[in-house]
Chains A and B, each alone.
Chain A
Amino acid sequence: MKRFAQLIDQIDQTTKSNDRIKYIVDFLHDVNDEDKLWFVALFSGKRPKGIIKTSLIKEWIVEITNLPEWLFEQSYHVVGDLAETIALLAPDQPKKGVNQDTLSKIIFELNTLKDKGENAKKQFVKNFWLTHSKAENFVFNKLITGGFRIGVSQKTVVKALGKFLDKEDNTISHRLMGNWNPKEVSFYDLLVSEDANDDNSRPYPFYLSYALEGKIEDLGDPSDWQAEKKWDGIRGQIIKRDDELFVWSRGEELVTDKFPEFNELKENLPNGVVLDGEIIGWKNNAPLPFHNLQTRIGRKTVSKKHLEDVPIRLIAYDLLEFNNKDIRQQSTKERRNLLEDLVKTNASDTLLLSDALEFNHWDELKDIRLRARELYCEGLMLKKKYAPYGVGRKKGDWWKWKVDPLTIDAVLIYAMRGHGRRSNLYTDYTFAVWDNEELVTFAKAYSGLTDQEFKEVDRFIKKNTVDRYGPVRSVKAELVFEIAFEGIAKSGRHKSGIAVRFPRMSRWRKDKKAEEANTIEDLHQLLNVYGG
């Protein structure tokens, strides 16, 4: 654990990714295979889950420190990270040499606690806190609370593993995909062995696009590019191997059970096929707005009503594996031909093809993009015809060209402190529009401003606080922001009865007074035109 805490500390102490890779490689050299495996698991989102309730952990730290609970909560809001708050508050008394347990040993012990009573858990956690340094406590708390996100991207981990194992980054990325379980697999089998005993469900890393920069004409000859609608659903991969079917979401979550409609593909698709596409709600020959799909995927079990209200489809746009062969290195054009044949010869109601749009000049695409909302899409995708399927987010071969967002000028009326690098700064805001004399809320947003602007707004909030409700401050209604968003729907979440999708601050309207912000009528008008 000490060595792992040291690594996290080192990673924290540098802003240079080459340094980080070097520190990880050094760490991998120093620790045993079980620790290596758990290191990889933790940074792939495979933390031991549900062992201790967060509320209990809070209770224990309050008990140890003898602080009133409200003061603990205030501290937490300022620090912005539960694990860190507890590490800062726990008495720091490293008893040298007392605890040399490895990372994997501690995780093993945590796992055995799962079925034990509250007292055993409390004993273990308190004892840990009192015998470890701040740095070790921080890492330990990260293990037992929220997500394990510590300033290292998976890309960095992949690069470090690639360097350590002397393998291609792409190979490592692929091996890390899917639902491998650190309790069942060894580091060797997962990453080292040449003939990986491949798990049937293992997906490929998704290729992700960047937003188009500059003018569309800069892409060169239109005939080099394939254009498709950019569908507004969730990205998914469907795998059919050995008569089994697996559905993966982009977040590397296995979601097969959430979409029973795809079961028929088990019959219709040949073995050794992996499709990349968009999972989307579909009714009366047209896509449903995203929020309909959202209500369905948010549930643990899919009800009959869901199946009737929001039937889903896969709109396939790429083929990654065919005849059990990884074909990602073939060109977009070749993969496209195979995909079209596959969809045509394996007719299924749930499988549609994302049509390639016909165009000869960029201007034709511009027209289509302007009509994107009528065409039930959020813009266009551009794919280079002669490029292979990439790994991760890379510039050059795929671009998304989204339609301009909808916008509303709204007044900032509540603020909360942010998390991570924005801890202690008020950066999470709630926005409202006018309903006659009253301001009614419709959106929360925390992105879109520069650091400088955030600092300015933070200062305004601290000087113009009207009231405090726990961590929330109500603020003098004065600042106006242009809020950009992608969709609009009825919702009980906000006072206005309306919710918007992906709201962010697109501009600080310093030129506008609060009275000049938009009204609830303006929102209703957008709802009528674009709402589902």
Chain B
Amino acid sequence: MLDKKLLRLTNKGIYCEQADVYFDPWRPVDKAIISHAHADHARKGMKHYLCHDHSAKIINHRLGKSNIETLPYGKSTSINGVKFSFHPAGHVIGSAQIRVEYKGEVWVFTGDYKTEKDFITPSFESVKCHHLITESTFGLPVYQWEEEVILADQINNWWKKNVAEGFNSVIYGYSLGKAQRILSVLDSSIGPIYSHTAINHINELVKSNGYQLPETKPIAGANKADIKNAIIVCPPAMREPAWMRKVKPYRTAMCSGWMAVRGAKRRRNVDKGFVMSDHADWKGLNEAIEASGAENIYVTHGYSTIFAQWLSEKGLNAQPLKTEYEGETNDSNTDE
């Protein structure tokens, strides 16, 4: 597919032969450039990692102490004549699009990205390029997101209504990204905010990088009697964990782009679904691709075949690319 080109697909990941580096590889390699710290992009076993400043601590926390070099947004580094730089992807804190330049040819590997602004994640910045490797997690026109202020209202109103009816509110979001975003929209005058241990760990790391988050109490040591009118932010779990017993009575909500479709919400068996995603929606994907000015588009994880066909019909040179990234997993029971 991408053979003989500056970047090409191998069984270990997307590879730049000239610099001998891989992008978010799924098998152990010597040198990996990492777009962000989610588990399907930052994997164990690389001899050397290059990532954005704000991903480093999280990768160390998750994968154990690793050999990591960091770079801020907009600064570049060269390897064997190939210039690499990071640019905000708006996906989660520390997420970056990776720009690659060699002899005047520019490639961008988006990793995961979101074009809609939120209250905490550095906003997506469009990068001009000739070749764009884009994700397509929500590459169907049925996926259209609301603005963050509207989502914030929806979530706070749900919480308020639960308080009025005597329920606690349990809200699910992945511990890196969604959890911080949920916290950033909560109106702490409604009631106390609790969070799960996995989220607290990430929160501490995020705060140490200078981000502001509201105070939360750990749900782990809390007393049943104290948990009133509360909202509890926690990673999604397939089964009800033991601590949820002390939160009763409660209502549950899931924050995910998949919640746009009723069937997905019913499958999760939550009371409420908030359509909150860390990925670009249909409009966002199309706008990002247009803004990049790229003529060659390689579509990775998501509805890659469908989305590539759509782009081809619009006159772009687009093709699907089979990677092992998972995007926003639909039914994940792990924390990513």
Q: B142–A75 contact, CB under 8 A?
A: yes
Q: Is B261 an interface residue (CB 8 A)?
A: yes
Q: Would you give the shortest CB distance from B330 to chain A, in whole angstroms? A: 7
Q: A14–B271 contact, CB under 8 A?
A: yes
Q: Would you give the shortest CB distance from A460 to chain B, in whole angstroms? A: 14
Q: B260–A151 contact, CB under 8 A?
A: no
Q: A79–B263 contact, CB under 8 A?
A: yes
> For A13, what are the chain B residues with a Cβ–Cβ distance below 8 Å?
271-272
Q: Would you give the shortest CB distance from A87 to chain B, in whole angstroms? A: 9
Bitwise, B234-276 to A at CB < 8 A (1) or not (0) is: 0000000000000000010000001011111111011110000
Report Cα–Cα, A88/B271, bound state, in Å: 20
> For B260, what are the chain A residues with a Cβ–Cβ distance below 8 Å?
88
User: Given A424-B330, A455-B331: A151 and B266 within 8 A (CB)?
Assistant: yes
Stretch of A63-71, A363-371, A404-412, A474-482 on the interface side: A63-71
Q: Is B140 an interface residue (CB 8 A)?
A: yes
User: Given A71-B141, A74-B306, A89-B142: A424 and B271 within 8 A (CB)?
Assistant: no
> For A15, what are the chain B residues with a Cβ–Cβ distance below 8 Å?
269-271
Q: Is A423 an interface residue (CB 8 A)?
A: yes
Q: Would you give the shortest CB distance from A153 to chain B, in whole angstroms? A: 14
Q: Is A81 an interface residue (CB 8 A)?
A: yes
Report Cα–Cα, A56/B270, bound state, in Å: 35
Bitwise, B58-90 to A at CB < 8 A (1) or not (0) is: 000000000000000000000000000000000
Bitwise, A406-432 to B at CB < 8 A (1) or not (0) is: 000000000000011111110000000
Q: Would you give the shortest CB distance from B239 to chain A, in whole angstroms? A: 11
Report Cα–Cα, A84/B259, bound state, in Å: 13
Interface residue ranges, A against B (CB under 8 Å): 12-16, 65, 67-68, 70-71, 74-75, 78-81, 84-85, 88-89, 92, 151, 419-425, 451, 455, 468
Q: Would you give the shortest CB distance from B240 to chain A, in whole angstroms? A: 12
User: Given A15-B269, A15-B270, A71-B306: A424 and B141 within 8 A (CB)?
Assistant: no
Pairs A-B, 4 closest by C-beta atoms: A423-B263, A421-B266, A88-B142, A421-B267
Q: Which one of B143, B258, B266, B269 has the highest number of Cβ atoms from chain A below 10 Å of its Cβ?
A: B266
> For A451, what are the chain B residues with a Cβ–Cβ distance below 8 Å?
267
Q: Is B119 an interface residue (CB 8 A)?
A: no
Other A-B contacts than A424-B258, A425-B330, A455-B331, 20 sampled, CB-CB below 8 A, are: A13-B271, A13-B272, A15-B271, A65-B141, A71-B140, A71-B141, A71-B306, A71-B310, A81-B262, A81-B263, A88-B144, A89-B141, A151-B266, A422-B267, A423-B263, A423-B264, A424-B261, A424-B264, A424-B330, A468-B305
B263 (CB) vs chain A CBs: closest residue: A423
Q: Is B313 an interface residue (CB 8 A)?
A: yes
B251 (CB) vs chain A CBs: closest residue: A14
Report Cα–Cα, A517/B146, bound state, in Å: 50
> For B141, what are the chain A residues with a Cβ–Cβ distance below 8 Å?
65, 67, 71, 75, 88-89
Which of A75, A419, A420 sits near B140, CB closer than 8 Å?
A75
Q: A78–B142 contact, CB under 8 A?
A: yes
Report Cα–Cα, A74/B141, bound state, in Å: 10
Report Cα–Cα, A13/B266, bound state, in Å: 10
Report Cα–Cα, A80/B262, bound state, in Å: 9
Q: B142–A79 contact, CB under 8 A?
A: yes
Report Cα–Cα, A273/B61, bound state, in Å: 76
Q: A80–B140 contact, CB under 8 A?
A: no
A86 (CB) vs chain B CBs: closest residue: B142
Report Cα–Cα, A364/B269, bound state, in Å: 45
Report Cα–Cα, A81/B271, bound state, in Å: 20
Interface residue ranges, B against A (CB under 8 Å): 140-144, 251, 258, 260-267, 269-272, 303, 305-306, 309-310, 313, 330-331
Report Cα–Cα, A89/B281, bound state, in Å: 13
> For B330, what are the chain A residues with a Cβ–Cβ distance below 8 Å?
424-425
Q: Would you give the shortest CB distance from A438 to chain B, in whole angstroms? A: 28
Q: Would you give the shortest CB distance from B161 to chain A, in whole angstroms? A: 10
Report Cα–Cα, A294/B258, bound state, in Å: 40
Q: A74–B140 contact, CB under 8 A?
A: yes
> For A68, what are the chain B residues with a Cβ–Cβ distance below 8 Å?
310, 313
Report Cα–Cα, A496/B272, bound state, in Å: 46
Q: Would you give the shortest CB distance from A68 to chain B, in whole angstroms? A: 6
B267 (CB) vs chain A CBs: closest residue: A421
Q: Which one of A14, A88, A468 has the highest number of Cβ atoms from chain B below 10 Å of its Cβ?
A: A88
Report Cα–Cα, A420/B264, bound state, in Å: 8
> For A468, what are the chain B residues with a Cβ–Cβ distance below 8 Å?
305
Q: Would you give the shortest CB distance from B309 to chain A, in whole angstroms? A: 8
> For B251, what are the chain A residues with a Cβ–Cβ distance below 8 Å?
14
> For A71, what are the chain B residues with a Cβ–Cβ distance below 8 Å?
140-141, 306, 310
B142 (CB) vs chain A CBs: closest residue: A88
Q: Would you give the shortest CB distance from B144 to chain A, in whole angstroms? A: 7
B313 (CB) vs chain A CBs: closest residue: A68
Report Cα–Cα, A259/B283, bound state, in Å: 56
A16 (CB) vs chain B CBs: closest residue: B271
Q: Would you give the shortest CB distance from A91 to chain B, in whole angstroms? A: 10
> For B269, what are the chain A residues with a Cβ–Cβ distance below 8 Å?
15
> For B267, what are the chain A residues with a Cβ–Cβ distance below 8 Å?
421-422, 425, 451
Q: Would you give the shortest CB distance from A473 to chain B, in whole angstroms? A: 11
- Chain A to chain B contacts (Cβ below 8 Å), 29 pairs: A12-B262, A13-B271, A14-B251, A14-B272, A15-B269, A15-B271, A16-B271, A65-B141, A68-B310, A68-B313, A70-B309, A74-B140, A74-B306, A75-B142, A78-B140, A78-B142, A78-B261, A79-B142, A81-B262, A84-B262, A88-B142, A151-B266, A419-B263, A421-B266, A421-B267, A423-B262, A424-B261, A424-B263, A425-B330
Q: Would you give the shortest CB distance from B259 to chain A, in whole angstroms? A: 11
Q: B261–A84 contact, CB under 8 A?
A: yes
B271 (CB) vs chain A CBs: closest residue: A14
> For B310, what are the chain A residues with a Cβ–Cβ distance below 8 Å?
68, 71
Q: A423–B261 contact, CB under 8 A?
A: yes
Q: Would you give the shortest CB distance from B68 to chain A, in whole angstroms? A: 31
> For A84, what are the chain B residues with a Cβ–Cβ distance below 8 Å?
261-262
Report Cα–Cα, A74/B302, bound state, in Å: 13
Q: B263–A85 contact, CB under 8 A?
A: no
A87 (CB) vs chain B CBs: closest residue: B142
Report Cα–Cα, A81/B266, bound state, in Å: 13
Q: A79–B261 contact, CB under 8 A?
A: yes
Report Cα–Cα, A78/B266, bound state, in Å: 15
Report Cα–Cα, A173/B267, bound state, in Å: 30
Q: Would you give the shortest CB distance from B75 to chain A, in whole angstroms? A: 38
Report Cα–Cα, A488/B270, bound state, in Å: 40
Report Cα–Cα, A421/B271, bound state, in Å: 14
A92 (CB) vs chain B CBs: closest residue: B144
> For B271, what are the chain A residues with a Cβ–Cβ distance below 8 Å?
13-16
B331 (CB) vs chain A CBs: closest residue: A455
B266 (CB) vs chain A CBs: closest residue: A421
Report Cα–Cα, A465/B141, bound state, in Å: 24
A80 (CB) vs chain B CBs: closest residue: B263
Report Cα–Cα, A419/B266, bound state, in Å: 11
> For A424, what are the chain B residues with a Cβ–Cβ distance below 8 Å?
258, 261, 263-264, 330
A421 (CB) vs chain B CBs: closest residue: B266
Report Cα–Cα, A115/B20, bound state, in Å: 70
Report Cα–Cα, A85/B270, bound state, in Å: 21
Q: A422–B144 contact, CB under 8 A?
A: no
Report Cα–Cα, A282/B154, bound state, in Å: 61
Report Cα–Cα, A68/B331, bound state, in Å: 30
Q: Would you give the shortest CB distance from A73 to chain B, in whole angstroms? A: 10
Q: A422–B272 contact, CB under 8 A?
A: no
Q: Would you give the shortest CB distance from B295 to chain A, in whole angstroms? A: 21
Q: Would you give the shortest CB distance from A80 to chain B, in whole angstroms? A: 5
Q: Would you give the shortest CB distance from A472 to chain B, in whole angstroms? A: 14
Q: Would you give the shortest CB distance from B133 to chain A, in whole angstroms? A: 20
> For B140, what are the chain A residues with a Cβ–Cβ distance below 8 Å?
71, 74-75, 78
Q: Which one of A13, A84, A151 has the highest number of Cβ atoms from chain B below 10 Å of its Cβ?
A: A13
Q: Would you give the shortest CB distance from B172 to chain A, in whole angstroms? A: 14
